[in-house]
Amino acid sequence: MHALWPVSPPLVPIAGSREGFPVRRIYCVGRNYVDHIREMREGDERDDPFFFQKPADAVVPDGAKVAYPQATGDFQFEGELVVAIGARCRDIRPEDSPKAIFGYAAGIDLTRRDLQKVSVAQARPWEPGKSFDGSAPCGPILPRERSSGLDAGTLVLDVNGDVRQRTRLDLMIWSVPEIVARLSDLYTLEPGDLIFTGTPAGVAAIHPGDCVTVRITGLPSLTITIQEQL
């Protein structure tokens, strides 16, 4: 039996290379900054961060125009550090996690906040609010060997030049090595997996015409423009 159409994985550009990073899965960390937990009032600050997923084809690259999604009246940004996995790992220790990391990128976890709030209120999965077309913008991936200073780095997100989010990456509740290790306890991580590591406070609605940019110390920036619903 033959496939009716070819299926190719989405590619994220690799900084300094003509090659792309084929995306296999997208994992996201929820509630990984205390100030965002306080902002959203959805959980206890003592709760562990948790994980949810987005479809691989939700990825859109730097410079993309993202259509305002259907079924929402509260479309919001969440600026995040993204970790790209480059080696298969299972039950890895935090101190060994660099062996599994290919590189890092700037990302945006786009969210239909009103749908997410309904899911939270009904104790249902977050997919309606999180997993939709174009919901995972990701900038070019900088290979790990060329990345430095992330532990002491900052993340800044602006909308139309107005800074909305600013944080230090060392304020994450779970560090990158801890996130990779914990995920590898739950899933077999494979080359091509992306991990969005959580967002700080400052999330807010965006609208058609808005330009959203994320800058993370030492990494290529990510910029998207929101356009009218298609």
| Mean pLDDT along residues 187-213 | 97
Q: Which amino acid is at 67?
A: A
The CA distance from 121 to 74, in Å, is 16
Q: Which residues are within 8 A (CB) of 135 and not within 5 positions of it... i.e. 6 or more apart?
A: 54, 58, 69, 109, 110, 111
DSSP 44-69: -TTSPPEEEEE-GGGEE-TT-EEEPP
Task: Please give the pLDDT value at position 151.
Answer: 83
The CA distance from 126 to 64, in Å, is 25
pTM of the model: 0.94
* Domains of the chain from N-terminus onward: 21-227 (3.90.850.10)
| Mean pLDDT along residues 187-196 | 98
Q: What is the CA radius of gyration of the chain?
A: 17
